Structure 1
Amino acid sequence: MRLVLADDSVLLREGLVRLLEEAGHEVVATAGDATDLDALVERTAPDVAVIDVRMPPTNTDDGLRAALRLRESRPRTGVLVLSQYIERGYATRLLTGAPEGVGYLLKDRISRVSEFLDALERVASGGTAIDPEVVRRLLAHAARPDPLALLTAREREVLEQMAQGYGNASIARNLVVSQSAVEKHVGSLFDKLGLTHTTGYSRRVLAVLRYLGV
């Protein structure tokens, strides 16, 4: 896939370039700040833009605001936010917007390179890749009483896997259970959350976030 990388850390940026190229992908452009990121993506037309949250010029939420602009101007370009921070307001807008091709991962929680590459491929193919810690932080600020209290421990595990972008077959492998068991848990948790009529994998995950008011 063709990629644009935006991160103000030179070491991280160059390390990602080498990692991605060794995996067979093409990094068509890199950026150390968010100022010209819109024009850079428009010029290079990548499959996915990987963007940090806190970047120059203000080192606050410039990268995430740039990600939101890209989702509006180029909805077919995947956006994977890769950061140490969770900016709740902007993260909510990003994750509850157009459901196709979006991700939000925390740098410190990626334990294997394969996890990152897998998440990147899911975003590129129009899926989602959301770190469960991002979901938990957003839920902690939800205005409604926590509906997740209704879920069993296994249903919570299934929901966390879904939030990361995995389908039922992958969840079954990850949790070492049968696919039929996963399907039963999915049906139960969506029944408890009042989302039984929601269809489509990515839309289901984002519907949960909307329902919880994050």
Structure 2
Amino acid sequence: MRIVIAEDNALLREGIVLLLTNNGHEVVASCAAGPEVLAALRKHRPDAAVLDVRLPPTFRDEGLRAAVEARCEFPELPILVLSQYVEQTYATQLLAHGARGIGYLLKDRVGRVEHFLEALDRISSGGTALDPEVVTQILSQKAASRPLENLTPREHEVLELMAQGLTNNAIAERLTITERAVSKHIRGVFDKFGLPPDGGNLHRRVLAVLTYLGNAGATGKDGGQQAPG
């Protein structure tokens, strides 16, 4: 896979380059500032991008804005965003542009090589890869302002794992239930969210996740989870 990365910390940037190249990927460009990102993407047309949220010159949302602009210009480009902390606003802004091929991980996950590489593979296949801590904080914030009283505790658990990008089989293993039971709970979520069946299970799966994250209106044409409900 040909990858563009953007990270201002030189040590971490070189570490990511080494990690990716040692696992068979090619880093075609490594950027240290926000304004460099789009130029590198246009020049190299990579298979994926790994971007830090906060980049020079402002160290605010340079990487996030670059990611959003990149998705507008290259809608099919898989993007894995890295952040030091859970940035709820940034996470929901990025997801508002569609969940297909999007990942959001905390930086400490990069040190967990298998987790990081799995997330990269997942988004490159059109799935999503949301850090569990990101999902937990966003869902907690939404639940505090708008409790979803119609969801059962189990449906809530299944939906949270869906948001992390897990397949039905992986959810079943995590919760120690059957895959058939997972499908039943997902159908219950679809029904309670009022998601029409004519969009297909993949489309409804993403809509369900983004409804729970408060971004349902922006995902009309995106699908992307790997297993139907």
Output the TM-score relative to the length of structure 1: 0.87
Q: Separation in 1 of the partners of 2:151 and 2:106?
A: 25
Encode CA deviations 1:164-190: one digit per residue, 9 max, x unaligned: 212212322333332112111212233
Aligned pairs for 1:129-144 within 5 A: 129-142=129-142
Match of residue 30 from structure 1: 30
Match of residue 12 from structure 2: 12
Q: CA deviation at 1:61?
A: 0.8
Change (3 A) 1:199 1:211: farther
Change (3 A) 1:110 1:35: closer
The runs of 5 or more residues in structure 2 that have no matched partner are 216-229
Q: CA deviation at 1:36?
A: 1.5
Q: CA deviation at 1:129?
A: 0.8
Aligned pairs for 1:27-176 within 5 A: 27-108=27-108, 112-142=112-142, 145-147=146-148, 149-176=149-176
Q: What SS does the aligned partner of 1:5 have?
A: strand
Q: Separation in 2 of the partners of 1:119 and 1:37?
A: 21
Deviates more, 1:22-31 or 1:63-72: 22-31
Change (3 A) 1:206 1:25: farther
Match of residue 200 from structure 2: 199
CA RMSD across the alignment: 2.4
Change (3 A) 1:199 1:99: farther
Q: Separation in 2 of the partners of 1:26 and 1:111?
A: 19
Q: What is the count of residue pairs matched by the alignment? A: 213
Q: CA deviation at 1:15?
A: 1.0
Q: Separation in 2 of the partners of 1:118 and 1:153?
A: 28
- Structure 1's consecutive aligned runs of 4 or more residues displaced over 6 angstroms after TM superposition are none
Q: What SS does the aligned partner of 2:14 have?
A: helix
Deviates more, 1:162-171 or 1:62-71: 162-171
2:34–2:62 Cα contact (<8 Å) kept: yes
Q: CA deviation at 1:100?
A: 1.9
Change (3 A) 1:131 1:194: farther
Identity, % of aligned positions: 53
1:7–1:52 Cα contact (<8 Å) kept: yes
Change (3 A) 1:150 1:81: same
Deviates more, 1:61-70 or 1:13-22: 13-22
Q: Separation in 2 of the partners of 1:134 and 1:189?
A: 21
Encode CA deviations 1:144-203: one digit per residue, 9 max, x unaligned: 5221x5434433332222112122123223333321121112122333333363534365
